[in-house]
Chain A
């Protein structure tokens, strides 16, 4: 058995400590993304979810500048951004997209400034790449407990407010009529989204954070309309894509060109995209004129 798998698992895959950390961190992040992402897709907040990953880069690059872990920069910046979006955002989808866009634009301006200062004032040229594309194999194992804590916070908020959140995601008016504090639930959710996104952006990079947040959840919601099941499928698919991606990236050190290894984010994104596409094709056909899978959060 071990012999037959040897070509798949390159020597050292299971004994390498960075790989262990990557597998653990990637798995945790994929689970949190699946749980939180299911609601992100249901609420039609894919743009906000993606933006937070980009917005966090301003915090992350500022953190580089002061010399603390980017994680804290990401979390701080994202919580501020989530607050700003809530403050200027309106409940109509278009108003919300605009609010997200304005905050994103301003934050990207800051990111430009901080990254510029990073690259000119320090010798580490990798800041830009690192912040945007993440570096799962270079993640310090000392931060794993911090990651775990943030994960528990993000999933905890979603699971604790599960039923009011579900109701207000499907029909804000109905939820309000039933006495659900829609706005408060929305803010709580935005906080958990901000934490979850910071977490994944800093460990696996801003790109992957969106891929894991949206891809598996969107596919899962096309398979089933039941939220708990969708969360489970999304988490499982996310973990599978992440682990497979890490394995492929590890193997790719021997590949052309240059034997420098292909990036993990490329593999994970491709796997997530392919998974969504397969579901999209097979489910989409049978539904013909079917309406969008779940009501638009703010219809």
Chain B
């Protein structure tokens, strides 16, 4: 698969030689990759492989020990309007007085001081965004009582309303049933292609993303391989990444990565626990 990157535009995200040490442990080893404008990229790896740390580095919540991160061709900074972020979990009680609509509105102006006074134009924008993620039917319900899939849609609207160029999603498919999983993936892919937004979505299972993914970034033990699915998800490439033999098996258009015969089923084990 070839990407038609606009020659005039710098890549929306460039990660160069990033190393991260936390509490005396190296979490990320020499990570390099690029994401072009409008690309849909999956960040795949088992729990604890370093996906969340990598996302935090891109967001500016964690500083790399060495290396650099460019967003839209410029050094990354906190409060970067080019990035929209969908966190893995939000802290909500079921009876917190906050409607889905309020959460989306906070995406517009949540960092500003003062009580909210939203103009008619802003209200229209909020309604449009809610409609775009098919959340109109529950826009006035409390966020805390929504199902996992509904909450993800509201969070996506929250992240998209400030019109970012790059959308980061941290494990949006975790704890979703198979149908909502599919719906969320299709929704993100549709909006991304409509609005020309690049997407970086982390997941421990790549299969739900296979139909829409332009490129995969595979993380294992803090090391990263990136390219198209065909390039990266091969027995050779992943064995090299893991540092021991793994098999890539295709069954009914699903891709499974299993530990090879020579070694203990380390990766397999951590994956099954993640489910």
Contact = CB atoms under 8 A, between A and B. Distances in A.
Chain A in direct contact with chain B (Cβ < 8 angstroms): yes
Interface stretch (A126-134, A229-237, A285-293): A285-293
A190 B22 CA distance: 36
A255 B137 CA distance: 72
A290 B94 CA distance: 31
Nearest to A93: B91
B22 A289 contact: yes
Interface string B52-96: 000000000000000000000000000000000000000101100
Contact of A94 (B22, B23, B24, B93): B93
Nearest to A92: B93
DSSP majority for the B interface?
loop
A95 interface: yes
Contacts of B93: 90, 92, 94-95, 98
A290 B91 contact: no
Contacts of A90: 93-94
B23 A289 contact: yes
Interface residues on B, range: under 10
A89 to B, nearest CB: 12
Contacts, number: 14
B91 A287 contact: no
Interface of B: 22-24, 91, 93-94
Interface of A: 90, 92, 94-95, 98, 287-290
A240 B94 CA distance: 45
Contacts of A289: 22-23
Nearest to B96: A94
A288 B91 CA distance: 25
A94 B22 CA distance: 29
A202 B93 CA distance: 35
Contacts of A288: 22-24
A288 B22 CA distance: 8
A289 B23 CA distance: 6
Nearest to A289: B22
B55 to A, nearest CB: 16
A171 B23 CA distance: 23
Contacts of A290: 23
Closest 9 pairs (CB-CB, A-B): A289-B22, A290-B23, A95-B93, A289-B23, A288-B23, A94-B93, A287-B23, A92-B93, A94-B91
A90 B145 CA distance: 14
A287 B25 CA distance: 11
Contacts of B22: 288-289
14 contacts: A90-B93, A90-B94, A92-B93, A94-B91, A94-B93, A95-B93, A98-B93, A287-B23, A288-B22, A288-B23, A288-B24, A289-B22, A289-B23, A290-B23
A96 to B, nearest CB: 10
